[in-house]
Amino acid sequence: MSDTTMNDHSTTNQALLDRGEAALHSIIDGDNGLWIGGRAETGEGEQIDLISPIDGTLLGSLTAASRHQLDTTVTRARTAFDTADWARDAKLRARVLRRLADLVEDDAAEIAYLDAVEAGKVAAGSVDEDVPDVVANLRFAAALISHDDGRYLRSADGWGWVTKVPAGIVAAILPWNYPIAMLGWKVAPALAAGNAMIIKTSEDSTLSALHFACLAAKAGVPDGILNVLTGTGPGIGAAMGLHEDIDVLTFTGSGPVGRSFLESSARSNLKKVSLELGGRAGYIVDADHAGDFTAIAADIAGAAFGTSGQNCTAASRVIYVGADDERFADFRTTLIAATEALTVGDPFDPTTDIGPVINTKARDRITAWVDEAVNQGARIVNTRAEVPDIGTWYPPTVIESVPDDTRLGSGEIFGPVTHLVRCETSETAVSLINDEPYGLASTVWCEDIGWVRWWADRIRVGTLAVNGYSEGTEATPFGGMRQSGFWGRDNGPEALASYQETMTVWVADG
Ligand code: NAD
């Protein structure tokens, strides 16, 4: 595909392109990078250029929020939290969140376009998965708060109740890899719990959040309850960490930045900090209890290379357990074939499986890590797809014999690269997962229920998928053990709890 401009959208959905471009222009043309107090505003901070990873085009520029605008936003959020009915009226919130879910569903095209053009997400995948995930989260959160009975207590000297109350002002600092889905994971439970929110998008993916904010206003979220700021991490992001009037900070991103928020909390107002950090997921193939290698390899290709491997649960290691050499050779060939069958190309083409990586820095880092491993003895085993010269691309890559003391051998690649490892015993495979500092997710393919239990009793990760890669659903908690996370969870009733305080009301008996 070298020399391809990636601009031939003839096979794509024209309506998606038309609606998406209109949404893009409504943000970019007016430099509407902020959503504060229920309306779009222009920032007063530094200029952020939006470069499409598809072909390097400058989509436009947005001016980031200034520190003063952050303070104004927090004040607006606090006022709305204190004075609007939002914090006290769960019925109102459930009604508005359901309406918002409908509006998001209606605008799947706009959202998918914005995430594709800005972050390289495959548009069909956004329409089929990311947007429905946000919709499901909003409806799930609305259902959760429709039945919150609290707890009634009585003793010899009084009576009372224990209830959950909103934490107050929630700051959400988002990554770029699943712009709208990560937003949904934070916004649905935090708003359902009755909080006011300030979202800081990633510099690399700010557009769909701004479109979402507009939909929230249409749905009836009161002015000041949902705010979005475009801004850099070290600028507005760090200032949010240190802000004295933010009660909860929820973050999805890299480990070092996550740790900095724990320090900022200690140095400021002890805001609650919830961190969803990286991963280095293993995909275990328990060959003695696995039948159809073709189905398994296809699942692994999706798990390892979907979103160009820029996924904290991406199967960055395929761990094959089995003693029979011929079966391993068969599996290896099948995995290579599944990888080579993927279509790498234009995110707007409905036949595309894999788009670009997010930016030049990411592509250069992935390239450097793989090159270093190869120079130290690792072998690339598939024929890699040709990728365009322009834009930021890296082909799906299966690699073997990666030395542990290379960056690829110990770090999170966050790109379309998976390391095929063969183990003789199940115990060794368990160690490969549990001895990592990361403990976010892993998958086991195992068709024997007794052995499924064996694996589940030993592997220590936040989400263990069995017989098919999955991060669970809106109803299942998502987050990491060890250094993959810190307090709180996304999704499930657990997410709601992350944005609530527990309060006791005690009435003395006369
Ligand atoms: P990142 O940490 O660089 O950026 C995430 C967010 O933090 C962005 O909004 C960024 O602006 C902000 N930020 C950056 N530097 C900052 C600073 N000094 N102070 C305050 N804020 C700052 O991460 P990323 O590159 O956007 O995302 C990739 C990482 O996120 C990977 O490590 C990946 O595993 C992780 N991730 C984790 C999950 C999860 O749920 N566990 C999901 C997606 C991504």
Pocket test for ligand 1, best of 205, 265, 271, 312 (most atoms within 8 A of CB): 312
Going by CA atoms, what residue is nearest to atom 40 of ligand 1?
276
Pocket test for ligand 1, best of 46, 173, 251 (most atoms within 8 A of CB): 173
Query: What atom in ligand 1 is closest to the CA of residue 202?
Result: 9
Residue type at 350 in one-letter notation: P
Number of other residues whose CB lies within 10 A of the CB of residue 497: 16
Residue ranges of the chain that CATH labels 3.40.309.10: 281-473
Going by CA atoms, what residue is nearest to atom 14 of ligand 1?
233
Task: Collect the ranges in the chain with pLDDT lower than 70.
Answer: 1-12
Going by CA atoms, what residue is nearest to atom 10 of ligand 1?
233
* Contact indicator for 255, 277 with CB cutoff of 8 Å: yes
Query: How many angstroms separate the alpha carbon of residue 232 from the centre of ligand 1?
Result: 11
Q: Which among 120, 489, 433, 121 has a CA at the least distance from the CA of 279? A: 433
pLDDT at site 1 = 36
What backbone torsions phi and psi does residue 135 show, to the nearest 5 degrees?
-60, -45
Query: How many angstroms separate the alpha carbon of residue 241 from the centre of ligand 1?
Result: 14
Query: How many angstroms separate the alpha carbon of residue 176 from the centre of ligand 1?
Result: 8
Query: How many angstroms separate the alpha carbon of residue 254 from the centre of ligand 1?
Result: 4
Residue ranges of the chain that CATH labels 3.40.605.10: 34-277+486-502
pLDDT at site 5 = 37
Q: Which among 93, 88, 108 has a CA at the least distance from the CA of 139? A: 93
The Cα 209–Cα 199 span in angstroms is 8
Q: How far apart are the first and last CA of the chain?
A: 81
List, chain by chain if needed, residues with CB within 6 Å of any ligand 1 atom: 173-177, 200, 202-203, 232-234, 237-238, 241, 252-254, 257, 260, 276-279, 312, 412, 414, 440, 480
Active-site residue list: 276, 312
Query: How many angstroms separate the alpha carbon of residue 407 from the centre of ligand 1?
Result: 19
Continuous H helices in 63-147: 67-83, 90-106, 108-119, 123-125, 131-145
203-250 confidence digits (pLDDT tens):
999 999 999 999 999 999 999 999 999 999 999 999 999 999 999 999
Query: What atom in ligand 1 is closest to the CA of residue 201?
Result: 9
Continuous H helices in 306-353: 325-340
Query: What atom in ligand 1 is closest to the CA of residue 484?
Result: 41
Tokens representing 308?
């160009």
Going by CA atoms, what residue is nearest to atom 26 of ligand 1?
175
Q: How far is CA 89 from CA 95, 97, 191, 431, 499, in A?
A: 10, 12, 12, 49, 16
pLDDT at site 12 = 56
CA 278 to chain CA centroid, nearest Å:
10
CATH class of 281-473: alpha beta
CA 42 to chain CA centroid, nearest Å:
27
* Contact indicator for 387, 1 with CB cutoff of 8 Å: yes
Residue with tokens 């890559």: 397
The Cα 474–Cα 138 span in angstroms is 9
Pocket test for ligand 1, best of 257, 366, 476 (most atoms within 8 A of CB): 257
Going by CA atoms, what residue is nearest to atom 9 of ligand 1?
202
Query: How many angstroms separate the alpha carbon of residue 252 from the centre of ligand 1?
Result: 6
pTM of the predicted protein model: 0.96
113-157 confidence digits (pLDDT tens):
999 999 999 999 999 999 999 999 999 999 999 987 789 999 999
pLDDT at site 13 = 86
pLDDT at site 3 = 35
What backbone torsions phi and psi does residue 330 show, to the nearest 5 degrees?
-65, -45
Residue 288: exposed, middle, or buried by beta-carbon count in 10 A (0-12, 13-18, 19+)?
Answer: middle
Beta-sheet pairing, 441-445 with 463-466: parallel
Query: What atom in ligand 1 is closest to the CA of residue 185?
Result: 40
The Cα 54–Cα 386 span in angstroms is 15
* Contact indicator for 8, 102 with CB cutoff of 8 Å: no
Query: How many angstroms separate the alpha carbon of residue 187 from the centre of ligand 1?
Result: 17
Domain 34-277+486-502 falls under CATH 3.40.605.10: yes
Query: What atom in ligand 1 is closest to the CA of residue 485?
Result: 41
Going by CA atoms, what residue is nearest to atom 18 of ligand 1?
234
Query: How many angstroms separate the alpha carbon of residue 174 from the centre of ligand 1?
Result: 7
Going by CA atoms, what residue is nearest to atom 36 of ligand 1?
253
pLDDT at site 147 = 84
